[in-house]
Structures are given as C-alpha cells and as structure tokens.
Amino acid sequence: MLRVLEPEVMDTRRDAEEYDAMDFMDANMKFAEDAIALVKDVGAPLVLDIGVGTGQIPELMLSRRGDMEMLAIDLAQEMLKIATIRLASAGLYDRCKLARMDAKKMRLPDAKYDLVICNSTIHHIPDPHLVWREIARVCKPTGAIIVRDLVRPPTMEDAWAIVNRVAAGGHIRQNQLFFDSLCAALEIKEVDAMVKDAGLRRMRVAKCSDRHWTAERPAQ
C-alpha cells in the first residue's frame, strides 16, 4: 500500500480533546519506561520531546525520574493547551517547558540534548527525512534517541483489520483517525533508510509490537 498522508497538524479543540480521550496508556507507559532506560546512567538528563501532543509522555517520564528536565514541542496550539493543564495539575510544569515549534526546522542549538524522544508523530510529517535530520542535529553525539510510531500495513484491508482488532467497539471517529494514521505510517525499511540518510549512528530499527516500529539508541 502506498502511503496516504493525513493532516500534519491536528489543531482544533475537538481534535485535541478526542486525541486526549483515546486510550494509549499501555503504549505510552512502555515508551516512557524504555526512554528512561536509555539514559539510566546519565545524571540530570536534558530531554527533548518532539510532538508532545497532550503531554501524556512527559507526565509519565518526569514523575518517574526526579532529576530529568524536558523541553516538549508541538505545532498544534490546542494540544499544548491540554499539555499545560496536565503538567501543571501533576506539579511538573516547572520541569517541562512547552513550546510551539515545527519539528522540521527547530529553533534549537546543535548537540544540546541528552535524550531526544518522538512518539507517534513521524506519520504526521509529509517528509519525515527533515525530522530525522533535525534529531541528528540537536542530539548530543553521545546522546540517546527513541522514536516510535505505527507500521504501515500492506493493504487498507489489513489496516481496517488492525483497527477492528485493537479498537473494537470504539468511537467511529476515533477508529477513523486510527485507520488514517496506519495508512500514513512508514514501513520499517523506509525508517531504516531515513535513519541512515540522517547520519545517525548506533541506531537499532526494529518492529516492537504487532503494529509499531522503534528506532533507538542508548546514551554512550
């Protein structure tokens, strides 16, 4: 199946609220734990979260690692509004700065971050090469990286089969969003090629669930 792009930015109040209502807890928890493990030997790591959405990942990570600080960016203002409320309510707002920023051209210094994370954002980007090159630029050469997203199924029928299995009984619009995300996702071979094109070293690219890929490396 050829890649079918979806809107790059979900920036209405309805988009943000519906996204926040979707149950990603298991996947988010696994992502947060895996990300923290990549910097287990780094003291007071500075983290960049690309595509923070409504702030669920920073809340999970910062509540588990007390010496961690984070900059979390997103292009959708409505997502950032919910993230602000979530982190403030959790007492974590002083350790996580939020900024509206384009992941394809970030206004950030080179080689600044000990850990760069990006969860379920790559499939929104029309040309993901640009984000991978920015990740390579802003992460320290010794820094850790974890990028995770959906795998594009072979056919649309396969995509609907995943939706019907994973989100059976779910809200019609949420199921449509899930289907659209699967169709906009990358194949693992495409991810591997983009990682290499960005000059990222020490990266492991692999399937990590029945519907997700991961690209990651630990701090060195």
Q: What's the pLDDT tens digit per position in 32-49?
A: 999 999 999 999 999 999
pLDDT given for residue 62 in this prediction: 98
| pLDDT over threshold 80, residue 15 | no
pLDDT band at 112 (very low <50, low <70, confident <90, very high): very high
Rounded Cα gap, residues 187 and 93, in angstroms: 36
Question: Letter for the amino acid at 63?
Answer: S
* Domain positions in the chain: 13-152+186-217
Question: Are 78 and 101 spatial neighbours (Cβ–Cβ below 8 Å)?
Answer: no
Instruction: Identify the CA nearest to 177 among candidates 128, 132, 120, 215.
Output: 120
Instruction: Identify the CA nearest to 138 among candidates 179, 171, 93, 108.
Output: 108
pLDDT, tens digit (0-9, with 9 covering 90-100), for 123-150 = 999 999 999 999 999 999 999 999 999 9
Class of domain 13-152+186-217: alpha beta
Mean pLDDT of 95-109: 97
Q: Is the backbone of residue 39 left (phi > 0), alpha (psi -120 to 50) or beta?
A: alpha
CA-to-CA separations, 21 to 47, 82, 139, 171, 189, in angstroms, rounded: 25, 11, 31, 10, 32
CA-to-CA separations, 56 to 51, 119, 187, in angstroms, rounded: 11, 11, 26
State what percent of residues in the chain have pLDDT above 70: 99
pLDDT given for residue 35 in this prediction: 98
* Average of per-residue pLDDT values in the chain: 94
pLDDT band at 174 (very low <50, low <70, confident <90, very high): confident
pLDDT given for residue 7 in this prediction: 80
